[in-house]
Structure 1
Amino acid sequence: MASEHCLIVRAAGKQLDLLRGEAFRIAKASQLGWSTDRADVGTRFCFEDAKAKNEFAVVCDNFGVASKDI
């Protein structure tokens, strides 16, 4: 998956589980793929489309979770 459609998110526990659920919902609604893996300073969420990544960034902001483009 292209790295330009990825975000690093700093979350743990239930908050991270909630974000994974939201990433799944966004990707399913857009009929796109997504993935998540560990990063040095958080969790990397990658999407097949920039629009889906941006929508996920808004969700992170709404939940008060810091996210960073990579």
Structure 2
Amino acid sequence: MPKENCLIVRAAGKQLDLLRGEASRIAQGANVSWWTDRAEVGTKFCFEDSKSKDRFALTCDSLGITCQDS
């Protein structure tokens, strides 16, 4: 699976659970797969397409959660 559609998010606990739910909702709406991986600092959220990654980045921003391209 391609890794170029990934974001590293610094979140834990309930924030991380919230982001997993948002990632699932975004991916389901776009009919694509998503997954998470461990990163050195934070959690890597990956999507099959760039549009879903961009929507997830906007969601992180609206929630005040820092994310960056991996």
**Taking structure 1 as the reference length, what is the TM-score of the superposition?**
0.97
Question: Shift of the alpha carbon at 1:37?
Answer: 1.6
What is the letter of the counterpart of residue 4 of structure 1?
Answer: E
SS of structure 2 residue aligned to 1:41 = coil
Match of 2:50 in 1: 50
Shift of 1:38: 1.2
Structure 2 residue aligned with 1:61: 61
2:26 equivalent to 1:19: no
- What code does the residue aligned with 2:34 have? W
Structure 2: gaps (5+ residues): none
Cα displacement (A) at 1:34:
0.3
Aligned residue pairs: how many? 70
> Which runs of 4 or more aligned residues in structure 1 lie more than 2 Å from their structure 2 counterparts after TM superposition?
none
User: Hey, what does 1:35 align to over in structure 2?
Assistant: 35
Report the TM-score when normalising by structure 2.
0.97
SS of residue paired to 1:35 = strand
Three-state SS of the structure 2 residue aligned to 1:68 is strand
SS at match of 1:3: coil
Q: Identify unmatched segments of 5+ residues in structure 1.
A: none
1:3, distance to aligned residue in structure 2 (A)? 1.2
